[in-house]
Structure 1
Amino acid sequence: MGKVNGPSVLQAVALCCDFTWRRELRRKRIMAYSKDQLLARLKDLQIEFSQYEHPAVMTVEAQAKYVGNIRGGLSKNLFLKDKKHRFYIVSALADTKVDMKVLSQRLGLGKGGFRMAPEETMLEILKVPLGSVTPFALVNESARDVALLLDKGFKAQERCFFHPLSNDMSISLNTNDLDKFLKSIGRDPAYVDLEANPAVGKDQPPDLAAFVPSGSTVLPDLPDPASAVQSAGGSHVNANNNCKAATEKAIKPAKDVQNVKDKSAKAVNPSSSFTDAEKFVEEILDRISAKLLSETKEGNIAQQGQELGNEIANRLRKCCYPELKNLATIFKNTAYTQGFHAGKASSLTQCPRT
């Protein structure tokens, strides 16, 4: 590797900063409400509320240390995802017992139809960080297809506490004013008994099925990358052969490929960035930028002097190589998967009718 001099390092830092700035600018094109904008909107709607600033809190228990002595009910808010990529906010009183399996059945999703939505999805859809999920996040256009289930226990409270898009503040208001806000964004508030456990069966349809969102947010989970490698080991589908036999043959894995699947089974499913070349490049640059900026601290510059460039180059190569190799492998496997499914669909459409 050639020697990297001081000016090159500074140029690299400048490029990383410029890239980060431009990326943030693109993200902000999809406008997200800020805490101050939300509070201003509540005032415009003539909604009466009290606000309490406190350190950022991640749990209801931590929040209670600052506002637990004030009259009103604290809320816990869950951001959930079902198997069909539909999203839900379940907002309940802190002491309400919410059985996820029961709630899933009541929505008609079967047992285990729910899971917690990943943090990246929370940021993308609700535009709030971890620990700040709140019904107020539905003000963002990106959350238009997210369903909201409110605990009917809120109705019995004089006031209820929620985070106003940020977990360093809590606001309290009554349910009438909460309803007023929700209706202002086109939402019909739905208060349900989250502790109920009604029977669900052939003659007893799910009582909450009407609240399942009809319009889903399209954030598909990609197939396991190992399946792409599996498919590559199969035989080509011949349109002149029997369709069923050809299809079964095409997806049958070879022994060597099965070993690849075993090694990949524990890998995390790739995010949507691996189907978009621009996002994939941004992912790489994000990681390199973070590593580079972490190494170019004032103390490092003073200590390393002119050798800082070489030192950073060596460290980047050492620490980034495994990550970048993993990213490239996932990107390759994703391409294999999409190519296989496209080829399979094309072959099936060419199968002669019998």
Structure 2
Amino acid sequence: MGLSKEQLLARLKELQIGFSQYEHPVVLTVEAQAKYVGHLGGGLSKNLFLKDKKNRFYIVSALADTKVDLKVLSIRLGLGKGGLRMAPEEALGELLQVPLGCVTPFSLVNESARHVSLLLDQKFKSQEHCFFHPLSNDTSISLSTHDLDKFLKSIGRDPSYVDLEANPSVGKDQPPDLASLVPSGSTVLPDPPEAAASSKDSIENPVSVSNKSTTSTANATKPSTNAKNTKDKPVNGVHVSKSVTDVGKLVEDLLDKTSALLLSETTEETIKKHGAQLGAAISNSIRSHLRAELESTIMTFKNSAYTEGFHAGVHHHAKRTY
């Protein structure tokens, strides 16, 4: 069980870290938090809990008005354009041991988060003090970056402040500037209850992101043994890739792309520009950006599923006697 808010605050006092504490109703967004502490001055923080394709996890903590482009950040970490995505909700409980809306640098206090990398916005240093939730989003505390660093060093962390809005070139002679911040090892999360129950049916296509995608994948692997054996094997010169016939992976990829686009479109600038029409504006943008890609992806899935079914049928009919 992770530290409680009270235990964390007690530890800060033991470390002689100065902070101010403000109680308020539970908040899930920076905008909601601003209603209670925004008038006090200082910098409000937004915090993203991310993962890469190798199950390595990251917390990106930035000022509320800092624009964080996940595609650019992914390239700077050496992960490629689509290397970062939002971490699954179960990872909040298993690794950070905090509920939704409570991710902050203080989440790293628990031993279970020892392999989670932390990227801090260098703009924090321009603020006299910054606001964070102390493991619970019904409270905000403000402290200086000096005191934040003191806390991080007390748990064995060397604070890394990054210009999150920079977009440096990356190439053969210009290696990724943030590659050193990539965790050294991957993290294996235990299967959710539903996933564990269906693990026998989904051994060939393991998915560890969400209950829904795991169940879908398990159902997708139940066709005949002949159909399974055709995956990733050339049949009559045609190669059927398991990656495009895995329903769970397809759905997860689509959700990742949509989430990344949604995050990139939801900025302070777009909020001011569109006001009450923000939802419609973002919806239209997502439609225009994803339409062609979704059509292509679904057509590939359709064709691959047809090809796999055809070859499964060929193998089945070959056993008939006339």
Normalised by the length of structure 2, the TM-score is 0.64
Partner residue in 1 for 2:73: 103
Structure 1, residues 114-136: CA drift from partner, whole Å, max 9, x if none? 11111111111111111110100
Identify the match of residue 222 of structure 1 among 206, 216, 231: 206
Partner residue in 2 for 1:140: 110
Structure 1, residues 295-325: CA drift from partner, whole Å, max 9, x if none? xxxxxxxxxxxxxxxxxxxxxxxxxxxxxxx
Q: Name the CA distance, whole Å, in 2 between partners of 1:235 and 1:70.
A: 61
Partner residue in 2 for 1:88: 58
Partner residue in 2 for 1:232: 225
Partner residue in 2 for 1:197: 167
Q: Name the CA distance, whole Å, in 1 between partners of 2:7 and 2:105.
A: 15
Q: Any idea what SS the aligned residue of 1:112 has?
A: coil
Partner residue in 1 for 2:262: none
- Whether 1:209 and 2:193 are equivalent positions in the alignment is no
Q: Name the CA distance, whole Å, in 2 between partners of 1:114 and 1:230.
A: 33
Q: Name the CA distance, whole Å, in 2 between partners of 1:128 and 1:73.
A: 22
Residue 146 of structure 1 deviates from its aligned partner by: 0.2
Identity of aligned residues (%): 71
Q: Name the CA distance, whole Å, in 1 between partners of 2:57 and 2:138.
A: 25
Number of paired residues? 225
Partner residue in 1 for 2:92: 122
Structure possessing the higher relative contact order (Cα contacts under 8 Å, 6 or more residues apart): 1
TM alignment of 1:26-105, pairs within 5 A: 31-105=1-75
For residues 46 and 140 of structure 1, do their structure 2 counterparts lie closer, same or farther at Cα, with a shift above 3 Å needed?
same
Q: Name the CA distance, whole Å, in 1 between partners of 2:250 and 2:112.
A: 31
For residues 230 and 189 of structure 1, do their structure 2 counterparts lie closer, same or farther at Cα, with a shift above 3 Å needed?
farther
Normalised by the length of structure 1, the TM-score is 0.58
Counterpart amino acid of 2:221? A
TM alignment of 1:1-354, pairs within 5 A: 31-219=1-189, 222-223=206-207, 224-225=217-218, 228-229=221-222, 232-234=225-227, 248=234
Q: Name the CA distance, whole Å, in 2 between partners of 1:209 and 1:88.
A: 13
Q: Which runs of 5+ in 1 are unaligned?
A: 1-30, 238-245, 270-354
Residue 216 of structure 1 deviates from its aligned partner by: 2.1
Residue 74 of structure 1 deviates from its aligned partner by: 0.3
Counterpart amino acid of 1:222? P
Larger Rg: 1
Structure 1, residues 50-79: CA drift from partner, whole Å, max 9, x if none? 000000000000000000001210000000
